Copies of this chain bind each other. A is one copy, B any other.
Amino acid sequence: MIIRIDELSDVPIYQQIRNQIVMGISSGELEAGDQLPTVRALALDMGINTMTVSKAYQLLKTEGYIMTDRKNGARIRTEIEKQGRISSGNRSELKRIVSEARISGVPKDEIINLVNEYYGG
């Protein structure tokens, strides 16, 4: 899986890595049991520090998306906990995004089409 970092973004690097892996899981590009690159390999590949990648992996581990095992590296978890609900933070963000889109004249259907595209199925 290819991970791209936007240097201009104000989103922290470790967060960008985390987000792309989460989106990879959602899209099916990453499946349960899949091996992730080592922290050193990914850091070298992206020209960033080892600890930055480690921080992304720690976050993913805390959230239950991956499991790390010394010497086995990091892999996508087989049983990812399903809360079944959208976090309050994501609700706020969604409301903000929809509001901005509405004000700038984006039709509702266009937003819903995006949701369908990103959700898949």
Contact = CB atoms under 8 A, between A and B. Distances in A.
Contacts of A89: 9
Interface stretch (A34-42, A67-75, A77-85): A77-85
A29 to B, nearest CB: 11
Interface residues of A, number: 45
A84 B119 CA distance: 23
A2 interface: no
A97 to B, nearest CB: 5
A51 interface: no
Interface in A71-121: 80-87, 89-106, 108, 110-112, 114-116, 118-121
16 contacts: A19-B92, A26-B98, A26-B103, A65-B103, A82-B105, A83-B104, A83-B105, A84-B106, A86-B97, A94-B97, A95-B114, A97-B97, A98-B115, A99-B118, A108-B116, A108-B119
Interface of A: 9, 19, 22-23, 25-27, 65, 80-87, 89-106, 108, 110-112, 114-116, 118-121
